[in-house]
Amino acid sequence: MNPRECESSPLQTRRVQRSRQGIGGLALGLILLVACRPRTTPPDERQLEFLRDGQLVRRLRVQELGTPQPVTAWDPYYQREKTFLAVPLAPLLRQGFSGLSLDGEEAFLRAQDGYTVPIAVERLLEPGGFVALSDRSVPPTPATAPSGKAEATWEPIGPQRADPRPFYLFWSGRDQGRLETHPRPWQLVAIELSRTERRYPHIQPRGLPGSDPAWRGLRLFTGECIRCHAINREGGRVGPDLNVPQSIVEYRPPEQIRAYIVDPGRFRYGSMPAHPHLDAADLDALLAYFAAMKSRKFDPDARATPRPAATP
């Protein structure tokens, strides 16, 4: 409910004052109190969307995701073994995209906070992928709902101590612990089939020869950065856009950009991970890409520049 809807009009106030003389006033007060309480979505109303190039293919409620089983695996975010009540990812994909071929496809895993992971569907079909519906490592909270059922509790995850709900994608294999190859998005809300060039048509440094280092920078950007950052408003929304309204190379010196990419913790506390595996050539390519995109801006969210007032 909009907070303004909880404000009483003069007429409502007079009616409430009159009704307070009897038990009807108490009942009306209780109704208003309940109506103004913030609404929450019950866990059993969670849904996972499956899309193809932005078009909804199927929406599955949590009850339709399959029969969950307890799965215990080491988790790199929690740095210990965790047990989740989960459903296997591969059959879930085939269910969500029933009737569509998954061969050679690329997918995007989208979280409700804007985090977006491009990944080959072939990787998602590997044995060992799961979608967690609840955290079995944490006891449920005491029953407070009218149904009398205890609500599932999730242990906060990541540097920002986020709530992983509605769904958390994780991997159980011993060789699936690297976040670079087997991402683990929490707050998962949608899986979309698309191609990077179709979903993000304005991140390409078009017009440059194939040998230009900016193309290598693009590949690095899509592999390392696009989950959180955008170029020309296309990409993740967790971190800032790196090209509009100003490119990062327009307000940060190159050496500072290099140092920040490798070890952002030297500059500030935040959720951006370090990239110690990137060498000097990788950083050169990323800077070449940022410099190339500086002259290829596309900003659908740009505000129209107001015209100066006419001189009388």
The model's pLDDT over 270-300, given as tens digits with 9 standing for 90+, comes to 888 899 999 999 999 999 999 999 999 999 9
The model's pLDDT over 177-219, given as tens digits with 9 standing for 90+, comes to 998 899 999 999 999 999 988 889 999 999 999 999 999 999 9
Please count the other Cβ atoms lying within 10 Å of the Cβ belonging to residue 233. 18
DSSP 38-100: PP---GGG-EEEEEETTEEEEEEEGGGS---EEEEEEETTTTEEEEEEEEEHHHHHHHHTTTS
Q: Quick check: 21 pLDDT over 60?
A: no
118 and 260 fall within a common domain: no
pLDDT of residue 64: 96
The model's pLDDT over 39-77, given as tens digits with 9 standing for 90+, comes to 444 556 899 999 999 999 999 999 999 999 999 999 999
Instruction: Calculate Rg over the CA atoms of the chain.
Output: 25
96 and 230 fall within a common domain: no
* Residue range of the domain that includes 281: 201-294
pLDDT of residue 159: 83
Query: pTM, whole model, 2 decimals?
Result: 0.72
91 and 223 fall within a common domain: no
> Which CATH number goes with the domain that contains 274?
2.60.40.420
The CA–CA distances, whole Å, from 222 to 29, 31, 82 equal: 55, 52, 30
192 and 249 fall within a common domain: no
pLDDT of residue 180: 85
Identify whether the C-beta of residue 125 lies closer than 8 Å to the C-beta of residue 93. Answer: yes
